[in-house]
Copies of this chain bind each other. A is one copy, B any other.
Amino acid sequence: MNLPEKIHRFIHSQQPKTIELLQRLVQEESTRENESSAQAIVIEKCRELKLDLDIWEIERIKLQSHPFFRCDRNEFEGNPNVVATLKGNGGGRSIILNGHIDVVPEGDPKDWRDDPFSGRVSEGKLYGRGSTDMKGGNVALLLAIEAIISTGIKLKGDVIFQSVIEEESGGTGTLAALLRGYKADAAIIPEPTNMKLFPKQQGSMWFRIKVKGKSAHGGTRYEGVNAIEKAMKVISSLRELEIKRNEEINDPLYQSIPIPVPINIGRIECGKWPSSVPDLAIIEGRVGVAPHETLEEVENDVENWLRELKEQDEWFKEFPVELEWFGGRWQPGNLDHNHELMNTIKSAYREILNSEPIVEASPWGTDGGILSKGANIPVVVFGPGTTEVAHDSNEYIELEKVFQSAEIIAVTLLSWCGVDL
């Protein structure tokens, strides 16, 4: 029996145990600042697999001077980052398998058919917040490692499994692991891609724009300048910038995507009183960053564009809008889709699923941007969940895809890290 066949049988035999592990993980409500109990389950599993464990609490002071650091959390005590290494025998290529343990809040429980953290299994799906994003992916990673161990062989290169916190809030967990010294020749992140391969990922940044008006009584509104109407001009102008920015993208991976790097207007707030002309509008949004761009380039792009508003409307000459970059920033990912890591995963995919994998660019950033832009690590995002249900009520994952992705990743590890015969 060859190695892939052994791996296949092992994974098949582990289905009940794997479902139970995922169920336990989903049942721990590992929202921000509550990651400890889910991490404890991960640690327990890594101990069982006899991996080299590194468990530490993030110290803000060690990260805060890094240009990628964006974090409004001060307290990490009791909620550790976890890295567990399957040491290779040497002479092979190493790989990071990175997944985040934090989940976004469950939202309104009334929108859920079950308890949001039920972990209920029904018709091949496991339900609950975090099932797709991304505890299902994490469990696939652990199962892949366990499958390798089960074969009795030794890999040449190291497999560095990372269960990080803070991905949903800007990536401080992965940044902390990187700055602690964890680098590798490649990385796979099983975010919910629905089994597609994403060598490129859209990055993003949040912006806030303040638009001035001039207050007046609503009965003589013509004596004022309505900040809402000026804000509408700003929004229309951002739409034009979005068109311009997307016209410049000719990467074939984006061929089927209507807007590769959207500018989203997420929030507007203006005015306090129905019968007053409001004098300040605040717009908040997210600008997508193309794989080939740096965040700084996009900052300049938007800044320069908004400076031109004055050519359309004299008002902005006297009262230019104020632009602020705040909160979330996600680095884009930009791996050549012919990179050897891609070829390795693709051939594992073909071997196991007997079909050609779909290769796309993701519409969202992942912690992969921190690894690739921060340490030149080739990253592919590939995982069993689906974007559509992530962050939504009644989130679920198809269990079959957890097993398939575990198998593909295990076979990838064989080729990438090399087997010490």
Quick check: is A327 within 8 A (CB to CB) of the other chain?
yes
Q: How far is the CB of A110 from chain B (nearest CB, A)?
A: 16
B266 touches A204 (CB 8 A): no
**Which residues on B sit within 8 Å (CB–CB) of A202?**
219
**Which residues on B sit within 8 Å (CB–CB) of A273?**
266-267
A274 touches B218 (CB 8 A): no
Nearest CB in chain B to that of A208: its residue:
B274
| Segment at the B interface, from A6-14, A157-165, A256-264, A367-375 | A256-264
Quick check: is A275 within 8 A (CB to CB) of the other chain?
yes
Q: How far is the CB of A390 from chain B (nearest CB, A)?
A: 8
Q: Please, could you name 16 A-B residue pairs with CB atoms under 8 Å apart, sorted by A?
A: A217-B387, A218-B266, A219-B286, A219-B363, A219-B365, A220-B363, A222-B259, A228-B265, A228-B268, A229-B235, A264-B275, A266-B278, A267-B271, A268-B281, A274-B284, A275-B285
Quick check: is A88 within 8 A (CB to CB) of the other chain?
no
What CA separation (Å) do A65 and B271 show in the bound complex?
A: 32
* Total count of chain A residues near the partner, CB < 8 A: 48
Cβ-neighbour of A218 out of B204, B222, B268 (below 8 A) = B204
**Which residues on B sit within 8 Å (CB–CB) of A217?**
363-364, 387, 391
Copies in the complex: 2
**Which residues on B sit within 8 Å (CB–CB) of A265?**
226, 228-229, 271, 278
Quick check: is A382 within 8 A (CB to CB) of the other chain?
no
**Which residues on B sit within 8 Å (CB–CB) of A272?**
266-267
Instruction: Pick the most buried of A218, A220, A270, A274: most chain B CB atoms within 10 A of its CB.
Output: A274
Quick check: is A276 within 8 A (CB to CB) of the other chain?
yes
Quick check: is A384 within 8 A (CB to CB) of the other chain?
no
Q: How far is the CB of A108 from chain B (nearest CB, A)?
A: 12
Quick check: is A92 within 8 A (CB to CB) of the other chain?
no
Nearest CB in chain B to that of A363: its residue:
B219
What CA separation (Å) do A264 and B328 show in the bound complex?
A: 35
Quick check: is A316 within 8 A (CB to CB) of the other chain?
no
What CA separation (Å) do A281 and B286 show in the bound complex?
A: 18
Quick check: is A70 within 8 A (CB to CB) of the other chain?
no
**Which residues on B sit within 8 Å (CB–CB) of A327?**
274
User: Which are the 9 A-B pairs with shortest beta-carbon distances?
Assistant: A218-B264, A267-B271, A219-B363, A275-B286, A266-B274, A218-B286, A219-B364, A206-B274, A222-B258
Q: Which of A177-225 contact B (CB under 8 A)?
A: 202, 204, 206-208, 217-222
**Which residues on B sit within 8 Å (CB–CB) of A270?**
267-269
What CA separation (Å) do A235 and B235 show in the bound complex?
A: 14
Quick check: is A232 within 8 A (CB to CB) of the other chain?
yes
Quick check: is A377 within 8 A (CB to CB) of the other chain?
no
